[in-house]
Structure 1
């Protein structure tokens, strides 16, 4: 059998057509095949070039084109050239038109339109990664919110959760042996949230963490005396900063995040973010 070519033509990325093509080909014992994806086909001249190549390769055409002129051209060309073709968009679109009497937008790539909210969310997530765990204290003055707390008080997961709501969060671990960054004292205390946990819960979490890392559970990291020392140190720092404190012991990440947003609002911090 000669090599099978499948042309996937799309006005967006063409991922849908390619995945469908792969799924269908997998149902056959075909070893020699090639799927060629043509994304962002938005003008007729480009489309004509692709279809002429397709004719030479005797290919099967799969297309996801919402522009009626382009999709009709593919259908007509393939019919005249006896090229097998599958339209993955318009039959379903026509069915919805028939059911709803609504007019489609026919806007290419609309599902992937990158709006301002999307860019803000990406920026916030990148910010949270960059300024996680005190990697670069310079980020504290740029943050919408700063989380502080000892190890295993959910600083990182909370930072990422809030970042997905377009909030730029930096977090700083509180360790008795490590000096606090000067930037922490240069920002308003109402932009700082302290996180704490109960000694028992910290002991449990840290024991489990050591087990995952393959370390002995007798390490000082999980000892009750060390935990109490860290909690006392953290309390002193938070008192000095005058920031609100949340005990995360019995709270899910979503619940703690909700409390943080409420506190920020009460503190008069206008985040002006998408927090839905």
Structure 2
């Protein structure tokens, strides 16, 4: 493929540029071709960068897509591109103009407002880091600090549930229940309504574990996936959950999102 056969899309932004690039890629995806390249140019805040990109676009017969809110840079880009006969697409201005009329107030014209680090953002990051740190029972101290603790046998989606709930700003610890390992005493020292047990049918768990073994390149006959081992683990897990007195959710036929919503609702009611 020669350069002359490629369509070059230059994505400009006075911030990160993710929004503009997503729009460009969404449009490109509507065409059955691999002959389009995108180049993102973030933090455009002076005319020199604009001149450089326009020259590249003109040399490659390219297209410029942009989300620039700084008026002086935006106007300069539009004027220069028009003079150099370079196609441009302004993503934000048409919508800003409509909203300005409807809201009856001018836009702030400040860069990066979408990515402002507010309190909610930090809470989400903290929850995600918490879920990673206290995943798979690595540190039982997390049980005492968590908003909710998930317990269950291996392959009951404890980790993906922890991450999903972290995006809802919940600090989640999870603890695997294995017959050979005593559960941490911390599980029995916190209120039962802060613990959620995850159960699964033997048949479903057998299928999930077999697929896991295949993915790891191991034999399907490994003890990990046998019904005898599964029944032993499930019986042990149920006894621990009964001892805690916690709410138990059957994940056999539920998607992670559905289970996560049930857990989130239980926490909210608490």
State the TM-score, normalized to the length of structure 2: 0.72
Residue 91 (structure 2) pairs with residue 113 (structure 1): no
Q: Distance in 2 between matches of 1:217 and 1:18?
A: 44
Equivalent position of 2:199 in the other structure? 196
TM-superposed CA distance for 1:10, in Å, is 3.1
1:185 alignment partner, one of 163, 184, 188: 188
TM-superposed CA distance for 1:171, in Å, is 0.4
| Secondary structure in structure 2 of the residue aligned to 1:233 | helix
Q: Distance in 1 between matches of 2:258 and 2:96?
A: 44
Equivalent position of 1:162 in the other structure? 165
Residue 105 (structure 2) pairs with residue 135 (structure 1): no
TM-superposed CA distance for 1:244, in Å, is 1.8
Equivalent position of 1:11 in the other structure? 14
8 Å CA contact 2:149, 2:194 repeated in 1: yes
Q: Distance in 2 between matches of 1:92 and 1:218?
A: 62
Of the structure 1 ranges 90-99 and 7-16, higher mean CA displacement relative to structure 2 is found in 90-99
8 Å CA contact 2:47, 2:73 repeated in 1: no
Q: Distance in 2 between matches of 1:17 and 1:263?
A: 39
Q: Distance in 2 between matches of 1:217 and 1:52?
A: 61
Equivalent position of 2:128 in the other structure? 125
1:88 alignment partner, one of 73, 90, 99: 90
2:154 alignment partner, one of 151, 154, 179: 151
8 Å CA contact 1:75, 1:85 repeated in 2: no
Equivalent position of 2:251 in the other structure? 248
Equivalent position of 1:3 in the other structure? none
Alignment of 1:69-88 (within 5 A): 69-75=72-78, 86=88, 88=90
| Aligned CA distance change for structure 1 residues 93 and 243 (closer, same or farther; 3 Å) | closer
Residue 214 (structure 2) pairs with residue 211 (structure 1): yes
| Aligned CA distance change for structure 1 residues 210 and 58 (closer, same or farther; 3 Å) | closer
Equivalent position of 1:32 in the other structure? none
| Aligned CA distance change for structure 1 residues 241 and 40 (closer, same or farther; 3 Å) | same
Equivalent position of 1:225 in the other structure? 228
Alignment RMSD (CA, Å) = 4.0
Q: Distance in 1 between matches of 2:138 and 2:224?
A: 21
Provide structure 2 residue ranges, at least 5 long, that are not aligned to the other structure: 1-8
- Residue-by-residue CA offset, 1:91-114 (whole Å, 9 max, x unaligned): 634764698585552332233333
* Matched residue count: 254
Provide structure 1 residue ranges, at least 5 long, that are not aligned to the other structure: 1-5, 30-34, 269-276
TM-superposed CA distance for 1:203, in Å, is 2.1
Q: Distance in 2 between matches of 1:264 and 1:150?
A: 22
Residue 196 (structure 2) pairs with residue 175 (structure 1): no
